[in-house]
Amino acid sequence: MQKKLRILVGKPGLDGHDRGAKIVARALRDAGFEVIYSGLHQTPEMIVNTAIQEDIDAIGLSILSGAHNYLFPEVIRLLKEKGVGDVVVFGGGIVPDDEKAELKKKGVAEIFTPGADTRDIVKWIKENVKPRM
């Protein structure tokens, strides 16, 4: 029997809007993944520490505040620093199209913007995230 993927849905920064993150978290849970939702106002350090404590396979970060160019790479940097750089990081929220390529160069595996179909997010995870051993 294959291990269920464990996904952390994180809300870093001061952004107080979490409706989209909760919708994605529920869709992932309904698709059979184990999902942990971090809650609002998490620091990158808090998200990475939770990922380590919960043995997470992937982190989905939701940012609507415009701080994605700092917060996404900072989570990735901390994961690498703590020896868990194999955790897949994907993002969602308000990310201008012209900023997506740079974030991907910095290690963000995929970015889903508002209006993304949750079935597409589930499909992407099934195709791109493998259980960490």
pLDDT value, residue 17 = 86
* CATH-assigned architecture of domain 6-128: 3-Layer(aba) Sandwich (3.40)
The residues spanned by each domain of the chain are 6-128
What's the pTM?
Answer: 0.96
pLDDT value, residue 14 = 87
pLDDT value, residue 57 = 98
Regions in the chain scoring below 70 on pLDDT: 1
pLDDT value, residue 129 = 97
* 43 contacts 10 by C-beta, under 8 angstroms: no
H-run or E-run covering 79: helix 68-81
pLDDT value, residue 1 = 58
Give the residues across from 90 on adjacent strands.
60, 110
